[in-house]
Structure 1
C-alpha cells in the first residue's frame, strides 16, 4: 500500500545551535525513522551556509520509502522549501490512518541544490549575522531586489503603451501624441500644411484646412476648376481663374457665359426703311425696292442696263428710271417710233409715210405742202394767153379766152387779139 504524506511541512528557524554542518551543492544526507504506535514522526537536520558566496541550497529534496512486516516497500518524494541563511529543517512524516500500532521503518534522503545570488541583478548581497540581506540598487526593491514596475501608476496618457525599464519607463504613444507621458498633442499645423492662405485646425494625428474660396483638397493645394461644369456657352473658350472663370466669346455673343446673342440690328444699320434681321455675329437687311448693298444704302441704278433706246437719256429714280426720248420716239424705253401719220396730218393725200419724228405726205396731183394742204396754183405759171382769164382748178386751170381766141391757153385766135390782156381770176 502507498503511504500518503501530509502536505503540511513545518520549517522552524533555529536561532541558536552549537553544532552546524556546512552543506555544499549536491550534498546528500539520509537516515532511518521508526514508526511505532504513533502515525507520525520527525526527521530533523540543520545547516549553515554562505549565500553570498553563491553556493546556498536552493531547495531541499526529500525522499522516503518504508516497509512493514505486512506490506511491501513503498517510496515517496517530499519537496521541502529552503530557508536562507542559518536554518534548520524539521520534517514531520504522517502515515495514513489504519496503520497505527504497526511497526513501520522509513528510510529518508535529502539533497541540497544551489542557485545564483538571489540579489542579482537588482542589488548586492551582504552577509548579515548567520544570514544575508540584499542592498537594492535604484529601481529595485524587496528582499531579493526585484525590479520596481514603474508602469504601475499608469504614467502614459492618451492610450499610450507603457514599457517598464530599469528605474524608468517608456511610453509608446498613439499617433498624434508625443512627450515622455504622451501628454503632448502633436500640432500637425506647425509645418503649415495648408496652402493658398488656407486656415489650419489641429486635430488628433491630423489637421483640417479651411480653404480660401476657389481652392480644395486636403491641403487646399488644388485650384478648383470653375471651367469644369462648362459654364461658357456657344463654343466660347473658358479660362479658369481663382474662384472664378472667364469666357472668351465667339464673335456675336456676349455676357458672363457668352449666352446672349449680340443684336447687331441694335444700331439700326439698315438704311432707306430696310428691315433688319439679327444673325450670329451679323445682320441681314431686306431692302426696299430700288436699294441694295449690305445696309441698303446703295440706290440701284436702274439706268445701268441701258433700258432707254434710240439714244434716249436715262434718269435713275428710286426703283425706277425715266427715259427722255429723242424726238420721234415714245414709251417707257423710247423704243416706240412715234407714228406722226397717226393724226392724219396729210390732206388731199394719197399716202402718209411715217419718218423719225416726222412724216411725209405723198400729195394727190394738184396739191403740195407738208400736209398736201396747198392747192397748187396751176395759174401761177400764167399759162393763159391773149389776156384770157385763168381759173385755178385741182391739178388744173381753166382759161376764159377773150373773144376771138380759143384752145386751152386761149392761144389760138385772131391776131388782133394777140396782145390783148387777159385777166386771171
Structure 2
C-alpha cells in the first residue's frame, strides 16, 4: 500500500513478509546486495561473542574516552560496504577491554579481602598505613567507575527488540540501551499502544471522507458513512444507477439519465422517451406507444383526407387519394391537364379543366356530340342552316370550324349570322371606286353611296372601329381592352372570366395569364382559414421565365416554418426543385423570385391554430437574363441560373468581374455539378484572366467529381462564361470571388473539403499584411454541420469592425 507517497509493506497479524531471489537473482538496497550485508552482520556478531572469552593483562590508559568513542561509532554504524572493516577493528578493541575488565574484577576482589584483614573496628592504624589505605581506596573507586563504564558498553550488544515491545504491527528499531517503535499510520505512542483519531486529522483533506460523508473513528482505523448518492472507501464514487442493466432493460424505448439519490440503497434515475413513446404511471420506462393519430388532429393530410395509421413508436399516413401526389402527410393536387390534355378529346380539342383531385372536360364543339372525352361528328348544317345566313349555303367541314357558310350568287359577306350575306352592290356609279372599307358593302344612292359595315366597324366608309368597351362590359374592377368586333377584360387578382364576373378559387387553381396578381385570402382584412392545403400552378408565356414579386406577406412565424408556410417550386408540380419555404413577415427572398422556366408551383399550408393576413404576389413573364457586369465590390458570389435548383437549357451567361485597381481576383469553387463530358462540349464553365472572351483561358470545367483548385488572375479583371445546350441539366455551380493584393502573403484563401482542418491568417503567428482580402470556402458532406473554433484572435479593434475583421457566413450550397 502507499501512504503519503511512500510504499509500505504491511503483514497481517502473526504473518511474515519474505523476499526470495530465484535463479541467481539479488535483492538490492541501493547498490548493495542485502544478503551480503546480513551475512556480514551475522559474522561480526559471532566474532564479538568470541572476543569476550579472550584474556589480557594490558589495560589501556585512555579506557573511558575510547569506550565513549566506541559507543558513538556503534550508534552511527550503518550496514554499508564498510561494515566488515569497522567490525574487524572493533573486535580487536573489545578483546582488550574485556580482558582488562576480568583482570580488574579479580584484583578488586583480592584488595577487598586484604582490606578486610588490615582494617578492623577499634584498632589504631598508623598514619602511614592510613595514607596507603586511602590511596588504595581511591584506586578501588576508580576501578569501580571503570567497571560501570564497561557494563554500559555491554549494553551495545544487547537486543532490546527481542521481547517484541511494539504493539499493533509497529516496527521495533534497536537502539543503545533502548528501542524505538515505528508505528503504522493508525497507531501512536511509545509502543504504538494509542489509537490515532483519523477523523480529526484527515478532516477537510483528500485523505478523509468526501462529499458530505460522516467519519467514524475505530481502533486502528476509521470508516466513512456515505451519503445516499456516494459509495467507496472515502465516498468518492457516485452511484450511476443507469449502469445496473442495459439501457433497453431500464428504459425500454428511452435514454436513461442518472439522478441524485435521496435515500440510501434506493436507486434513482429517469428515462427520456424517444419520439413516439411515453410512460405509464410510476413506471419510469418508456414502454407505452403514443397514438399520434388520436393525439394530433393534423398528423396526416386533412384536405384531402388521408387515413392515419398508428405504429409502435411512430405513425404513417396512407396514400394520397387519386388525383393527388405526396407522402400522405401533405398531398398536392395533380394537374391532370398537363399530360395528354388530361384524357380529354384532342380531335376535336376539348378544354381540360383541372379541379382539386381530378379534372373535367369541357363540352364538345359545335357539330360534335359526346362527353368531352370523346366527341363524334354529327354535323352542323342540319340545324338552323348551321348558323349560316339564309342566303348562304351551309356545307359540313369538320376541319374548318365544323361547317362553311358561302353566300349565294348576288350576295357578298362571310355568310355567318343574320347579316352574313348582303346583296352585292353595284359596280358602277359612286360605288365604282370601292369607297367602303373593312369589307363594307357599297350601295349607290343617286350620285352618292352608302356603306353597310361589317360587325365591329362603323362610319360613312366603315373605317371606324367600334369601341366595344364603351359599354364598360368588364366587371369587378377589370380593365377593358378594345378589339375588332370584340374586347378583352384584364381582371384583378380575385376575379376571372370573359367579363371578370367569376371570383377566383379562394384556395388553389391554375393561372394561365402572362401576368396577374394572386391574393390569399381574397377578402381584404381577413385571416386565412385553419387546416388548409392550397396549390396554385402559374403558367406564363413559353420561352420566358416568371418573375414573382411579393408586395405583402404575413404568415405565422416559426424558425423552421413547421406550422403555416408558403412553399414555392421551380416548375409545374411539387416534385420540381423547391425554391424556398417561407413564413413570418419578411418578404420571400427580399420580395422577388425568378423561376428558370415559364411555370411555378405555389403550395400554402396552415395548421389548426393561429392565422395571419396571408400574402399578395404578382407575376410577369419576362425574358430570362443571366450574367452581367459585377463591379463595386471586392468580394462576392456567382451562381448558375436557378441554383441550387437545376439550371435551364440553352443559356449563355457572361459575367465580367472587376475589383479595385492593384488587386488580383481569386476564384474559389463552393459547388460544381455540370453535365459531364470528356471534352466539355455540352454544358461548361469557362474562366478567363481578363475582361474579354479572348483573354487568357484559366480553365474550362464540366466534370465535377472533385472541386477544382482556386484560380488567380494577374489583373483586377475576370471573365466567366456559362454555356448550356438543349438537353440535360444539373444543379450548376457556386463560385466565390475576392480581390486580393499581391502583398496579401501566403495562406490567403482557398477551398477546404476535409472533415476537419485549420485556417490561419497570412504569415501567422507573425502579423498579417495590409490591404488583404482572403476568402476560404469550407465544404463538407450534405447533412453535416460545420463548427468553427477560434484558437487565437488578435485583430485591429473597432466597435463596428470596420477596419480588420473576420466574417463567417453560411452559403447553404447543399440546400
TM-score by length of 2: 0.22
Higher strand share: 1
Higher helix share: 2
Larger Rg: 1
If asked which structure has higher relative contact order (CA below 8 Å, sep 6+), I would say: 1
